[in-house]
Structure 1
Amino acid sequence: MAELHLFGQIEGGSGFSQRRLFCKWGLHAGAAWTLLAGVGAGQTQLDDPQVDDVAHWGHPLDMHLATRGLQGWPKLLLEVWHVDPWGRAGLAGYGVCHVPSAPGCHRVTCVTWRPRGTRGQRLLGTGAPQLRDPQGAVTGAGDRYRLRTESAGTVWLQLGVVTRNMARYGVALR
């Protein structure tokens, strides 16, 4: 089997209208992919920037995957959340980034978005609506094209990619 080792970190995020941010993440890949080692989902710690709007997470990522085919190349689903003064978590943004296919070190910028609430929700400040199933952001299934969205902020990742036996299976990655 061909193998992919993904390591690095979720460095942080900025441009969000809220403070006290954390990021939930999950790896999503096609049916031909198997996670051999590491964890496929997690959450960063909460960061409350005091001077600027940059949340620093430095959350490590380390996954080893095997595959029988390249269909469904791995992606990372990022969900940025904020915590209000009463301890309630609210959505700040969703983002999806593809894992780079070329071996080496990569700096990845993931732009996030969130569903735009109705005018009444925005006026009352009841918080941003959330997707019933965030996996739909990765797969593009359903009526996603009907969503009214707005940009939210940016998350930065530093990813290292190591491949093994890809050429044996006829895959030339650059």
Structure 2
Amino acid sequence: MPPPGILRLLVNGEIVSAKGYEYDNLYIHFFLELPNNWSSLPFQSLSGVTQTCRTRTLGKDNVAFFSYPFSFESFFRKEDRKEDSLPQWPVLYFEVLSLDFWQRYRTEGYGYLVIPATPGCHSLTCSTWRPLQGGTVAELRRFFIGGAPELEDSSYVRVPGTFKGDRLSRFGFRTETTGSVTFILNCVQHARAFVDASTLKKRRQSVLDQLGGFSQQGSVYNVLEAFQRARRRMQEARESLPRDLINTTTTLAPESTA
């Protein structure tokens, strides 16, 4: 059980397949980036590399089936008490590469996915792109000797909008759309607030409510709970009235309506 005010996030995922890429013998390098207020265990590895997988033709696409499992464990602590503040979720960045017979590798595409904020099983397909260097010489170099333009920082793939906010667009940067990668994520959220809500029979669904914060849903639930309490008080007051008064009110009601 995590301490109060801490949300524990467990992600058991699988890289299912990749399709639509130019070359064969694909493998994927991936890593998880944790935004502010998120942390992980010191011995927890947040990156990995799949095995090299050959493709096979299915319809019009060449598909590589990895079925590569991975798991992450991270912790979220809410420090900003503002009402309109929303937590940022971890992002999984990945790079698809190909390897030929001469051990030459080529960058086939970059992509990312944001870890879903809701628990459960999620199947996600993410499109990728790669930097493009114009000219025939660059294409001949890519074909004969391998290699291709690479990103110095893989998090640049998430543009516009990053955690640091220091990059705004890819305007003027030539890219080419490539294939796509399919993931299956099983997300588990673990927090003491879940147990407290179950004990007190309160409905809390958003992460901010589970961590004791403020949200619009929490306000709605408070109004509904107040209405239920008022309704119970009215029923108790009616039951405490004398039976003669209740029978008299019931008898006079038809006459007054007539």
Scaled by the length of structure 2, the TM-score of the pair is 0.61
Could you tell me how far 1:133 is from its partner in structure 2? 1.9
Where do 1:91-106 residues align within 5 Å? 91-106=107-122
Q: Deviations over 1:101-144 (max 9, x none)?
A: 11110001111100111214444243431112223224374463
The match for 2:29 is: 24
Deviates more, 1:135-144 or 1:123-132: 135-144
Where relative contact order (Cα < 8 A, 6+ residues apart) is larger, the structure is 1
Deviates more, 1:122-131 or 1:149-158: 122-131
2:68 to 59, 63, 75: 59
Could you tell me how far 1:8 is from its partner in structure 2? 1.8
Q: For the residues of structure 2 that align with 1:171 and 1:6, how far apart are their CA atoms?
A: 26
Where do 1:127-142 residues align within 5 Å? 127-138=147-158, 139=162, 141-142=166-167
1:141 and 1:13, CA in 2 relative to 1: closer, same or farther beyond 3 A? farther
Q: For the residues of structure 2 that align with 1:7 and 1:22, how far apart are their CA atoms?
A: 20
RMSD: 2.1
1:145 to 151, 155, 171: 171
Q: Deviations over 1:4-63 (max 9, x none)?
A: 111121111000011100000000121211123742100000001244411111111211
Deviates more, 1:90-99 or 1:122-131: 122-131
Structure 1 gaps, min length 5: none
Partner secondary structure for residue 86 of structure 1: coil
The match for 1:161 is: 187
Structure 2 gaps, min length 5: 1-5, 79-85, 192-206, 216-258
Partner secondary structure for residue 211 of structure 2: helix
The structure that is strand-richer by fraction is 1
Q: For the residues of structure 2 that align with 1:39 and 1:90, how far apart are their CA atoms?
A: 25
Where do 1:106-117 residues align within 5 Å? 106-117=122-133
The structure that is helix-richer by fraction is 2
Q: For the residues of structure 2 that align with 1:73 and 1:121, how far apart are their CA atoms?
A: 41
The match for 1:68 is: 77
The match for 2:38 is: 33
Partner secondary structure for residue 169 of structure 1: coil
Q: For the residues of structure 2 that align with 1:152 and 1:86, how far apart are their CA atoms?
A: 23
Q: For the residues of structure 2 that align with 1:124 and 1:11, how far apart are their CA atoms?
A: 32
Q: Does 1:46 align with 2:52?
A: yes
Scaled by the length of structure 1, the TM-score of the pair is 0.88
Where do 1:77-96 residues align within 5 Å? 77-96=93-112
Tell me if structure 2 keeps the 8 A contact 1:2–1:169: no
Q: For the residues of structure 2 that align with 1:50 and 1:6, how far apart are their CA atoms?
A: 29
Tell me if structure 2 keeps the 8 A contact 1:12–1:54: yes
Q: For the residues of structure 2 that align with 1:121 and 1:169, how far apart are their CA atoms?
A: 59
**Max Rg structure:** 2
Tell me if structure 1 keeps the 8 A contact 2:124–2:182: yes
1:170 to 201, 205, 213: 213
